[in-house]
Amino acid sequence: MMKGLKKWRLFSLLAVMTVFLSACGEDYITTLKPTGAVGKEQFNLLLFSIAIMALVTIVVSVLYLYAFMKARRSKLGEDYMPKQVEGSHTLEVIWTVIPIVLLLILAVPTLISTYKLADVRAMDEVDEEGNKTALTVNVTAKLYWWEFEYPEQGIVTAQELVVPTGEKVYFNLKAADVKHSFWIPAVGGKMDTNVENVNKFYLQFDEESEGLEQGVFYGKCAELCGPSHALMDFKVKVLDRDGFDNWVAAMQATEGQTASADSADVGEQTFANSCLMCHAVSGVGTTGAMGPNLTTFGDRNRVAGVLEHTKENLEQWIDDPETIKPGNLMTGKYGELSDEEISAVADYIMGLSIEE
């Protein structure tokens, strides 16, 4: 008897903890504290759906308890037979109509939000000079990293999306290899990236990321895509409009920047000979590179999207990326480097920065 009570107490405690801890989470990644207009609308729709489901659960539970208490044998006797209601047209209509009404109540706001959030016509609007008025980012998902192109600004970056606050940012989403899914949990819902077509949607970022613990929002791949799916992260840096414009200008100023094989710096020389064929070090250029653009590597939050941003972790990644992200396409693509060369390359890459 006591063992049974202990089990029920433990079960009850776990249930209560689940309810309360489900609301816990860091601001940079939780879906329960949305920081953008899209995320807030989706969250409100979620709460509305939960409220309706809770109402149904409460009503059914009350009716069950009422019937249970009213028809007790101790009260009505062993031979009592309740009124038989099978075939009642009234009851059949009631329990058919009520679910339909509840579904309609759910369907109307859901459909309104769906069509509203799918409206990307503003992406193609232009001003009097023919320039697009909305910020558009072309996102390409690759095994296991992300490329971000700003076509109107003529710049490309990777692994760290930079956007302004207080305006809609439109995304063209595609995949270069297999299906992935683009998701920034704290800002809005996910959208698949496919190889055969481009998906479009928008998000709005209402808060700067500087005040967050990590200084960035976290983005994830939300579609199982291979052995390192869980490690296919990216970061989102949200700036005010002036800060974003300054970042764009700094990126554009790197046009023509490259690494020289004739450099006296061992790191730059090694990078030019072993890495430059896959990794660009200029923010102005074409998309479709084999590896992530490294122009802003020194300003990033993480190494390879998941490791702390330190030289030691970068050396580990260069030396053996397979141990960190199994199945990545970098493994075996360059010759074996000595410890000295790895250290020098790490110094060079950590020094790639556009921030003052």
d(CA 271, CA 126): 41
Same domain? For 166 and 284 the reply is: yes
Grade residue 187 by pLDDT with cuts at 50, 70 and 90: very high
Same domain? For 90 and 208 the reply is: no
158 Cβ contact partners less than 8 Å away, ≥ 6 residues apart: 145, 146, 147, 148, 292, 293, 294
Same domain? For 96 and 218 the reply is: no
Same domain? For 221 and 319 the reply is: yes
Looking up residue 70, the CATH number of its domain turns out to be 1.10.287
Q: How many CA atoms lie within 13 A of 147 on its CB side?
A: 25
- How confident is the model at residue 74, as a pLDDT? 73
> Of 83, 117, 151, which closes a domain?
117
- How confident is the model at residue 223, as a pLDDT? 96
Grade residue 289 by pLDDT with cuts at 50, 70 and 90: confident
pLDDT in tens, 101-140: 999 999 999 999 999 999 999 999 998 888 899 999 999 9
Looking only at Cα atoms, what is the longest distance across the chain? 102
Tokens of 136: 């558009």
Grade residue 23 by pLDDT with cuts at 50, 70 and 90: very low
Q: Is residue 270 part of a domain?
A: yes
Looking up residue 260, the CATH number of its domain turns out to be 2.60.40.420
Asked if 328 and 228 count as a contact pair (C-beta separation under 8 A), the reply is yes
Query: Is residue 13 predicted with pLDDT exceeding 70?
Result: no
Q: Is residue 25 part of a domain?
A: no
Query: Is residue 295 predicted with pLDDT exceeding 90?
Result: yes
Q: Is residue 283 part of a domain?
A: yes
Same domain? For 43 and 167 the reply is: no
Q: Is residue 198 part of a domain?
A: yes
> What is the count of structural domains for the chain?
2
Same domain? For 54 and 95 the reply is: yes
Same domain? For 294 and 249 the reply is: yes
Same domain? For 104 and 58 the reply is: yes
Same domain? For 173 and 283 the reply is: yes
Domain of residue 213, residue span: 136-350
Q: Is residue 8 part of a domain?
A: no
For residue 1, give the 3-state DSSP assignment. coil
